[in-house]
Every structure is written in C-alpha cells, then in structure tokens.
Amino acid sequence: NAGVTQTPKFQVLKTGQSMTLQCAQDMNHNSMYWYRQDPGMGLRLIYYSASEGTTDKGEVPNGYNVSRLNKREFSLRLESAAPSQTSVYFCASRLQGAADTQYFGPGTRLTVL
C-alpha cells in the first residue's frame, strides 16, 4: 500500500515548455487535490476532483489544467510554464466520509527558468 505517489520528484523547465505532473493513489479514495506550496504562502489549492469524472477550480487555477483519468489517477498539466509557477506541488486524496482527512503525496519540486 503505497498511499499517494507523485512523479517526477524534481523537474526543471524553460519558460514556455509544457509538462504533466502525475499523481496516483491506491487507497480507493474518491476525491483528489492538487496544491502548490510557496515560502510564506502556505499550501494553496489549484484544482480538485470531488469524484471520478468531475474537476473544479481551486484558489489559484490560472495556467494549469487537470485530468481525472480514472479513480486512481489525477494529473496536473502546465501548458506554457512561467517562472511564477516555480513551486513545490503536492497531490492529496480523501475518502469522502466522516473522517474527511486528506492524505498527501511526497511532492514534485518544479523550477521554471
């Protein structure tokens, strides 16, 4: 039981390049989330998927797109990377029950030059 996994762990892009961050969970959770973490800002929600087949914008969605591929996988795409997107990205998942706890992956550290 790996929990929430993310790939890659590190990535360096040039301005304008595109990439997709992958996230998968093996806990049979319904909801999945993408956050970014910047110094002094705390974790901020980019997009989330309450259930398979649905996605919604969070607090900072501009410049990103997401795909809920199936119940296990939720990807985040940067179509044209900008230096302002340099950050650490975390994926999380939640069962959607009384506990309502979100469990986080190990993160992807992205640098855009």
Binding characters for other proteins, 48-67, by CB under 8 A (x = yes) = x-x-----x-x---------
Q: In sequence order, what are the residues at sequence separation of 6 or more whose Cβ sits closer than 8 angstroms to the Cβ of residue 32?
A: 23, 25, 48, 49, 68, 74, 91, 92, 93, 94
105 lines the binding site for other proteins (CB under 8 A): yes
Smallest gap from Cβ 75 to other proteins, in A, equals 17
Nearer Cβ to other proteins (20/96): 96
Q: What residues between 64 and 103 interact with other proteins by CB under 8 A?
A: 90, 94, 96, 99-103
Q: Which is nearer to other proteins, 16 or 106 (CB)?
A: 106
Closest to other proteins by CB, 1 vs 100, is 100
Instruction: Tell me the CA end-to-end span of the chain in Å, nearest whole number.
Output: 36
Residues contacting 31, CB < 8 A, separation 6+: 48, 49, 50, 51, 93, 94, 95, 96
